[in-house]
Amino acid sequence: MVNKVFISVDYKRDTPKLVHEYGQYFGKDFISLTGNQLQIEAITNAYAVHFEFVPLKDSAMEYTVDHTSRFYLLNKEGQTVGSYSDIINDPQFKKDLKKLVKL
């Protein structure tokens, strides 16, 4: 079984409900997560993900979030098998996934 997880880094604005709704745009079977500042900083540090809040002048949104966009493939022990910027066109991702799930 493959679990697909989406994690929001916007701990200031994103509630679990909002993140769930957003994650559904990627697929109905996505697990969508967020957390408080310490939790988000811990996970982003663990996976070397950069994010920063960028103020938006004259906007009702107040800020946007610049962030690294990566896909991580983990084994069932939670160890990183690979990191990818494009899982659709990257042949290495397809090889790693097939090896991991033994297709």
Which DSSP helix (H) or strand (E) runs through 75? none
Beta-carbon contacts of 21 under 8 Å, excluding residues fewer than 6 positions away, are none
User: Is residue 102 very low, low, confident or very high in pLDDT (cuts 50, 70, 90)?
Assistant: confident
Q: Is the pLDDT of residue 96 over 60?
A: yes
Estimate to the nearest angstrom the gap between the alpha carbon of 4 and the chain centroid: 9
**Prediction pTM value:** 0.83
**Alpha-carbon separation of residue 1 from 4, 80, 101 (angstroms):** 10, 16, 8
**For position 2, what pLDDT does the model report?**
86
Structure tokens at 67: 């962030």
The 10s digit of each residue's pLDDT in 21-65 is 999 998 899 999 999 999 999 999 999 999 999 999 999 999 999
